[in-house]
Amino acid sequence: MQAEKHLTGTLVLSVFTAVLGFFQYGYSLGVINAPQKVIEAHYSRVLGIVPPDRHATGAAGEDGTVPIPADTSGDLAASPHVLTMYWSLSVSMFAVGGMVSSFTVGWIGDRLGRVKAMLVVNVLSITGNLLMGLAKFGPSHMLIIAGRAVTGLYCGLSSGLVPMYVSEVSPTALRGALGTLHQLAIVTGILISQVLGLDFLLGNDEMWPLLLGLSGVAALLQFFLLLLCPESPRYLYIKLGKVEEAKKSLKRLRGNCDPMKEIAEMEKEKQEAASEKKVSIRQLFTSSKYRQAVIVALMVQISQQFSGINAIFYYSTNIFERAGVDQPVYATIGVGVVNTVFTVISVFLVEKAGRRSLFLAGLMGMLISAMAMTVGLVLLSQFTWMSYVSMVAIFLFVIFFEVGPGPIPWFIVAELFSQGPRPAAIAVAGFCNWACNFIVGMCFQYIADLCGPYVFVIFAALLLVFFLFAYFKVPETKGKSFEEIAAVFRRKKFPAKAMIELEDLRGSEEA
């Protein structure tokens, strides 16, 4: 068992290099928020339109109106809506790019191999970041929208390739802990983008293009480090049939450990994959063999995006302002720090408590926090101290999110499927995650305006549905081989008996 948990330098390098893709994903998610007013003001100057009042940069006259630029023409009433449209596109095209490319993850991963595929797709990241970094030298709104879309294409591919590679190079005993690093890389990217986005650093009128394009540095670093990383031994053995190369890759990743146990496990998986043939996305949905696993894979992605975590970050600055915090932006960064710290803690918890237990605990904690948040917001006008209830609820919500619903969906999908259907399953799950991300980004503002503080009641109801689904349907995957997990789905039985059956299966194999 100790051998299985042995961390080698090559394994650490490989996992670190791979999750740089998720760092770029997190940075791209967070970087667009801090300089919003600065970029909108730049858009308004470039397009010759009047910015919305809340972002107006001109001095107000005696009647409270903002002076209209001399070169402005056309329907002025529509101008703010045009600016809002361009800004919405600047934000949402990232998710659109991710949705489009996520369906090609399985094809490019199998065609080029995991490492070569990550190398090639980095070209998209570098291109997208260059477009944004040079935005001031052309039509900035179009360059940013195009850059965000191309960066989204990269992140859609990377968010599928990285979990696939990390799950395949990790020993079974460390698969969960190393898989949690995906979320750690995301929240680290978000936190760094928040800090760099402060107006006295890069979030100002002079430096915002550099801020938007800075994750290209991580792309370059990943590109050169990938040249030092071994290919996935599972890919070499099962997909290409290169036994000796797979053994060499395993020895690099495991050090002096005997690779034969893992080779034997791969042989089982290869035989299983050969018997089930290659699985397309259509077969994934039409075959009853995979139906239960597909439903679980999609629901964990939906629960991550529809949990309300984006709403918490949206409301946090406003709540901190009401609580009397002088610089609410720093309090919001504080939330980002808590986000990062508890993601680190989850790295150690996931192999101790198990995926299912942490996922359930996280959902229930978020449900309680959402209800507390609702009470705090509704009663805020009557009791000023309720703002502190809301503040505590924000931090607890973030903590519980990072305990389970944040990190676990990124790697549990790769654990639920054997080699045959895994690429298609990861592609479908990735598309689902990106689609939900896009829906939340486009619709949340309207729902929040309609429901006000009661918006968290909607998330509480969704969290209750997700909790009940996870309790009855999501199996424990901790310490189990892909074959053992697949056996549970083949028998069409779920968690109430899953743990017993997995232990029985393992015991019969050892006997």
> What DSSP letter does each residue of 34-91 carry, written as one string?
TTHHHHHHHHHHHHT-PPPGGG--SPP-TTSPPPPPTT--S-GGGHHHHHHHHHHHHH
Last residue of a domain, one of 229, 249, 269: 229
User: Mean pLDDT, to the nearest integer, of 455-472?
Assistant: 92
356 & 460 share domain = yes
225 & 284 share domain = no
User: Mean pLDDT, to the nearest integer, of 371-399?
Assistant: 85
pLDDT tens for 175-196 read: 777 877 888 898 899 889 989 9
Q: Considering the domain boundaries, does residue 195 fall inside one?
A: yes
Last residue of a domain, one of 229, 249, 271: 229
User: Mean pLDDT, to the nearest integer, of 206-216?
Assistant: 91
Last residue of a domain, one of 229, 251, 266: 229
* pLDDT at site 332: 77
347 & 415 share domain = yes
For residue 206, give its domain range: 7-51+79-229
* CATH, residue 188: 1.20.1250.20
Q: Considering the domain boundaries, does residue 71 fall inside one?
A: no
Q: How far is CA 113 from the centre of its chain?
A: 22
Residues 6+ apart with CB under 8 A from 115: 165, 226, 229, 230, 231, 232
User: Mean pLDDT, to the nearest integer, of 341-345?
Assistant: 85
Q: Considering the domain boundaries, does residue 263 fall inside one?
A: no
394 & 321 share domain = yes
Between CA 300 and CA 465 the distance in angstroms is 12
306 & 432 share domain = yes
Count of the separate structural domains present in the chain: 2
417 & 495 share domain = yes
196 & 89 share domain = yes
Site of tokens 């039409």: 286
* pLDDT at site 238: 84
338 & 422 share domain = yes
pLDDT tens for 230-255 read: 999 988 888 888 888 888 888 888 88
User: Mean pLDDT, to the nearest integer, of 472-488?
Assistant: 73
220 & 327 share domain = no
Q: Considering the domain boundaries, does residue 426 fall inside one?
A: yes
Q: Is the pLDDT of residue 467 over 90?
A: yes
Rounded to whole angstroms, the maximal C-alpha distance in the chain is 88
Q: Considering the domain boundaries, does residue 255 fall inside one?
A: no
Q: Considering the domain boundaries, does residue 324 fall inside one?
A: yes
170 & 311 share domain = no
Contact 5, 174 (CB under 8 A): yes
Q: Considering the domain boundaries, does residue 271 fall inside one?
A: no
34 & 98 share domain = yes
Sign of the Cα pseudo-torsion (6, 9, 11, 16, in order): positive
User: Mean pLDDT, to the nearest integer, of 380-402?
Assistant: 85
485 & 379 share domain = yes
User: Mean pLDDT, to the nearest integer, of 485-489?
Assistant: 68
Start-to-end CA span in the chain (Å)? 18
Q: Name the more confident of 376 and 221.
A: 221
Q: Considering the domain boundaries, does residue 265 fall inside one?
A: no
